[in-house]
Structure 1
C-alpha cells in the first residue's frame, strides 16, 4: 500500500501535463481573469475604490479578488464531465450578481446582501427606476459569456483517451485552495474588519469576499444565533434606557404637552432632500409652500438620512418606533412580528384612531403585516383609492393631489386621529417630468437633476393645496403637523449636476452634508424657529412624544428641542455631530465645516459611545427584546 501511494505521488505531476490540454488551461485562465476583471471593474466603476490603481489598498483588494476567483476555479475541477458546464454557469451567475450589485450600489450606496436578494421579488414595480441606473459600460460584466459559450461548445465536441483521475483532480483543487487562502491571508492581515460598514469590507477585501462574508453572517444570525435574550443583554438594555431617560429628565422641558389632545398629521414625502428648501432657480423658489410653512414652524435644517436596506420603509420604521434600521435587509420583512413601542400605540391609549395611508399595493414592503405590529388601526392602500390622476414614478403613481384629497374623505375627523401619509409623486426616476414644463429649471432641463427638481416642485404645490384643505376643514389649527423627507433622491453616481448647481466638490464631507432631509413641525401657537442641532430620523418620535404628552421610554432617538448636543449615527457606523464627521468607510474623522482631517484619538471614546446606539437597537430587533422587558 505504501509503494502504491509513493507511486501515485511520484506520477502526479508527470502525468498531469499530458492529460491536461491547452483548451482546458485557456478556459480556466479566461474564467479566472474574467471574475477578477468584473470584480475590480465594479469597484472602480462605482467609486468604492479610487486611483491610483496601484495603491496599497487596491493591490490588497485585487489579491483578495484573485483569491476568490481561485476558490471558484477549484470547485468545478473535482467534476470531470461537467466542470466546463459548471464554469459557464458560474460565470453567468457572477455576471448577474455583480451587475445587480452595481445597480443597487448606484441607488442605495451599498452592496446587495442576502436579505435584499430574498426580497427581490418585490422589485418588479420599480423596474423603471432600475432601468435608469443602467450604463453602457455595464456590458463589460457579460463580455466573457459568449467567449466561454463558444469554448464550451468546442469542448463538448472533443473526447479524450486519457481520463484525469478523481484523486488528481482533488489534489489540484486543494492546491488552488491553499494558494487562494494563503494569498487572501496576506490581504486580510493588512486590514482591520469594520463592524458596521459593508462598503469598507468591499473596498479592502473585494466584492467576492464580501458575498462570502455576507452569507456566513446571514447563516450565523438567522440559523445559528441564539435568539434568547441573555441576562447580561437584558441588564444592558435596562441600564441604557434608565440612564438615557434619567439624563433626559434633567434637561429643559420646552414645548412639553403643547400639542396634547390635538390631531397628529405626519407626512413622509418621497425623496425630498434638504437642498431644495429656500433655493431658487432663475429667480423662482423650488418649494415656495414648504418655505413659507418652514418660517411658521419649528424647522430642523440639520437632519441626516439614516435609512439602510429598507429605504422608504426604514424611514417609516424610524419615525414610528424610534429604532434604527436592521443591519441587513429591511426590518419590515425581518421583524414584522416583533413587539414595538410606537406612536400609534401610545396615542391609542389616549383614545386616538390611527391611519396609515399609501396609494400603493398593501403587500409592498410587507406593510400589511408590519402596520399591525406598529399598531395602526386602519391601512388605506391602493385598494381604497380611485386611481384618477397619475403623476410621478414614471407616470403611474397616484398624484399627491388626489392622494391627499381622497385620504381626507376616508379619515374620520370627528374624533382625535393620527394620520401617517406616505407620498409617491416624487419617486425616482422622475422621468414623468422629462417633457413637462411645470417649472423652469434652466440649463438643467431634461436632465436627471432637472426632472428631480420638477418632481419636488410639484410635490410642494400639492402640499400647499393640502394645507389649504386642512384650513378649510378646520383641522390646521387643531393638529400637530410633521413633514419630512424619507431619503435622498439623488445617488452620488447621478449627482454631477447637483454638485454643479451647489458649487460643491465630490469630497466625502461635501457629499455627506448633502445627505440631509428637511424636517418641520408645525404646531398652532408656536412661533417659527430654525433649529440647527444635528439629528436624524430616529429623533422624530421623541419630539412628537414630548409635544403630545405621550410616553417614549424605549425610544433610541432624542428630543432635539431639549437636547444639549446633537448627533446622528448612520447604519454603517458613521457618526455626525455639530462639529465633526466620523466616516466609517475610511475610519477617519473630519471637521464637518471645512473637511479638515482631525486626530481620531481625540474622538474615539465619544464615537464608540454613539455607536452603542446601534448595538442596543440591534439587540431589541434581533431578540424581540421589548416583548421580554415588560
Structure 2
C-alpha cells in the first residue's frame, strides 16, 4: 500500500513542530489574570491597600502579584495534562483560599496562615460567626469559575491538539519563572520586609507571595530549624531578664503585697471594649455596673489589645503567663507542652487551689492540654455545667448569669482560691440580641453595632449580679478582683456606626485608640483611681504578682502601678507609648495627640528596644527555653 508523501510530511511536521496552541495560551493568561485580579480585589475590599490605585505601593504590589501568578502558571505547565484540569482545580482552590483569607481578615485583622489552616477543624462551633462575615461582593472570588469550566471543556474536545513534550514544557516554565523573578526583584528592592507584620507583606508584595512566604516560614520553623537553645540565645535571655528585674527593683513598690492571702478572681470578658465604659446611649449607661465598679477600683484606661492568631486564647495566655502570643497560629496549640511560670503555679506554692472556668467544650482552643501547662488544678468546662439558659453566641452559649451562678457552687470557697472565668455571652456575631429589646439602642437597632451594645449591656448586668453574689457570700471583701476584655468586638469592616457614635474619623491614630479593652483591679481598702499609663494585656500578671506578693521573674510585662514609662508592643511589631504610635503596617511614627507624622529616626532606637521583647518571647516559646533556664 502506498503512502502519500504529503501525508508523511504532515505527520513529521505535526510531531516535530506542534502548532502553536493559541487557545491554550489564552487559557493560561486568563488564569494568571484571574488570580491577580482576585488577590488585588481582596486587598482593596478589606482595606489592606488603598486608593489611588496607581500609587507607588500599589504598582509594585501589582508587579509582585503578577510575578507570583506567572510562577504558578509555570509550575502548572510542567505538570499540565491535555485537558488542562490542573488549571481548573488550582483556580477553585485559590478562590477558596482567598475567600478564607477575606473572612479571617475581617474578624482577626490579619491573613490566615498555615497553623490556622491546620487547626481549622476547631472552627465548627463558630460557624454562625463565620457566616455573618460574608458579603455579596464575595461572589467575585468565584465568578470566573463557570468561564474556566467552559474553557476546560472546549480544550478537552480539541482533538487536533498535540501533547507538548516535557522538555519543551520545562523550557517554557523556566522562561516564565525567570521573567517572574526579575519582575519580583524590582518590587522587592523598593520595599523592606517586615519581620512582624503579615498585612505589611500582603500590602507590598501581594497575597500570593505572602502565602508562599508563610509556607516557607512554617517549614523552616517547624521542620528545618534547630529547636535546641543555643548558647548565644541562652545568654541573651539571661542578660535580658537580669537587666529587666534589676530595673524593676529600682522602682517604687506601690501596693506591694496589699492583697497577700486574699482570694484571686479574674474575669476575662468576651469582646468587651474600653469605649463602652462610662458611655451612654439615649441617656442610659451602657455598662452601669462596671461603671460603678470602676469608681471603686484601680481602672486602667489605656490598655491595648495584643492578641494575635489565638484571639481569646492569646488573651488567656498573656494574662496568666505574661508572654507574647505566638508569631503564627495560637500558642495554645503550638506550645501546649512547654514549661511556663504562671499565676496558678505561683499561688499553688502559697496553698491556693486554682480553677479555670469556661462553659464550652474542653477541647476548644486545646484548653484541656494547655490548662495543664498553665498549672490549673481544675478545669470546669461545659461537661460540668447544666446548660439551662442560652444567651449570646447565636443563642447557644450558656448565659453569663448561669455560668457565674453555677461556678460559685462548684468552687471550694473554704480555702484560698484562684478562679479564672472566661465568659461567652458577648461573643460575635451578637445575632442573639437582634430582636431583643433589652436596651434601647435607638437608630442602631438591628445593626451589628446595636447588637454589640445590647450584648455588652447584658454582660454588664450579669456581672453586676455576680458581684452582688460575691458580697452575699462574704467573698467581695476578701478577694482581689480583676476584670478585663479579651479582644475587640467590632472589626474595622463593621465600624461605620461606631465611628459615627463616637464622632471619630478613620485615621490610623483614631482607630488604634479604639483598640483598647477595659482593665480594672478591685482590692478591698484601695480607693478608686484612673491610671492612664499605656500598657497591654501582657501587663496583667506583673500587677497581680506585685499586689499578691509572689514571684514574676520571667514575666515580659510590666507593673503599670510602678513603671516609669508606659508602652504596649503589638504582635505585628507596632509600638504604642504615651506620646507616639509606631505603625508597622506603613513603617510610620504618629503623634498620639495630633496624629501628625513624626520623624522615625528620633524614635527608632526606642522602638527596637521595645520590639526586642517579641524576639525574647519567641525564643522562649519556640525553644521551650524556661525549662532550660532553670
| TM-score where L is the length of structure 1 | 0.97
CA offset at residue 31 of structure 1? 0.6
Unaligned runs of 5+ in 1: 1-12
Question: What corresponds to 2:195 in structure 1?
Answer: 195
Matched residues in 1 for 2:213 and 2:80: separation? 29
CA offset at residue 160 of structure 1? 2.5
Question: What corresponds to 2:220 in structure 1?
Answer: 220
Matched residues in 2 for 1:230 and 1:80: separation? 45
CA offset at residue 16 of structure 1? 9.7
1:80, 1:164 within 8 Å by CA — same for their partners in 2? no
SS in 1 for 2:84: helix
2:83, 2:155 within 8 Å by CA — same for their partners in 1? no
Matched residues in 1 for 2:452 and 2:17: separation? 61
Residue 542 in 1 paired to residue 520 in 2? no
CA offset at residue 144 of structure 1? 1.1
Question: What corresponds to 1:506 in structure 2?
Answer: 506
Question: What corresponds to 2:480 in structure 1?
Answer: 480
CA offset at residue 45 of structure 1? 0.4
TM superposition outliers: structure 1 runs of 4+ over 4 Å: 13-18
> CA-to-partner distance for each residue in 1:148-189, whole Å, 9 max, x for gaps?
111111222221264322211111111111111111111011
SS in 2 for 1:379: strand
Of 291-300 and 72-81, more deviation after overlay is shown by 72-81
1:76, 1:83 within 8 Å by CA — same for their partners in 2? no
Question: What corresponds to 1:23 in structure 2?
Answer: 23
> CA-to-partner distance for each residue in 1:322-351, whole Å, 9 max, x for gaps?
000000000000000000000000000000
Matched residues in 2 for 1:14 and 1:441: separation? 74
When residues 400 and 162 of structure 1 are mapped into structure 2, their CA distance, relative to the original with a 3 A threshold, is closer
Matched residues in 1 for 2:82 and 2:518: separation? 57
> CA-to-partner distance for each residue in 1:397-446, whole Å, 9 max, x for gaps?
00000000000000000000000000000000000000000000111111
Question: What corresponds to 1:427 in structure 2?
Answer: 427
> CA-to-partner distance for each residue in 1:527-573, whole Å, 9 max, x for gaps?
00000000000000000000000100000000000011100000000
Matched residues in 2 for 1:208 and 1:15: separation? 37
Residue 565 in 1 paired to residue 572 in 2? no
| RMSD, aligned α-carbons | 1.2
SS in 2 for 1:19: coil
Matched residues in 1 for 2:618 and 2:262: separation? 33
CA offset at residue 23 of structure 1? 2.1
SS in 2 for 1:123: helix
Residue 326 in 1 paired to residue 326 in 2? yes
2:106, 2:493 within 8 Å by CA — same for their partners in 1? yes
SS in 1 for 2:391: coil
Matched residues in 2 for 1:78 and 1:197: separation? 34
CA offset at residue 14 of structure 1? 12
Question: What corresponds to 2:270 in structure 1?
Answer: 270
2:265, 2:479 within 8 Å by CA — same for their partners in 1? yes
Question: What corresponds to 1:4 in structure 2?
Answer: none
Question: What corresponds to 1:440 in structure 2?
Answer: 440
Residue 308 in 1 paired to residue 308 in 2? yes
CA offset at residue 594 of structure 1? 1.3
Question: What corresponds to 1:600 in structure 2?
Answer: 600
When residues 78 and 192 of structure 1 are mapped into structure 2, their CA distance, relative to the original with a 3 A threshold, is same
1:318, 1:538 within 8 Å by CA — same for their partners in 2? yes
SS in 2 for 1:188: helix
Matched residues in 2 for 1:17 and 1:532: separation? 76
> CA-to-partner distance for each residue in 1:452-503, whole Å, 9 max, x for gaps?
0000000000000000000000000000000000000000001000000001
CA offset at residue 352 of structure 1? 0.2
Matched residues in 2 for 1:396 and 1:161: separation? 57
Question: What corresponds to 2:234 in structure 1?
Answer: 234
CA offset at residue 316 of structure 1? 0.1
1:19, 1:163 within 8 Å by CA — same for their partners in 2? no
CA offset at residue 222 of structure 1? 0.5
Provide the aligned length of Structure 1 versus Structure 2.
Answer: 618
Matched residues in 1 for 2:40 and 2:16: separation? 32
CA offset at residue 22 of structure 1? 2.8
When residues 16 and 557 of structure 1 are mapped into structure 2, their CA distance, relative to the original with a 3 A threshold, is farther
CA offset at residue 80 of structure 1? 4.7
1:19, 1:164 within 8 Å by CA — same for their partners in 2? no
When residues 291 and 173 of structure 1 are mapped into structure 2, their CA distance, relative to the original with a 3 A threshold, is same
Unaligned runs of 5+ in 2: 1-12
CA offset at residue 19 of structure 1? 2.1
Residue 136 in 1 paired to residue 140 in 2? no
Question: What corresponds to 1:3 in structure 2?
Answer: none
Matched residues in 2 for 1:154 and 1:389: separation? 58
SS in 2 for 1:562: coil
Matched residues in 2 for 1:58 and 1:163: separation? 39
When residues 526 and 34 of structure 1 are mapped into structure 2, their CA distance, relative to the original with a 3 A threshold, is same
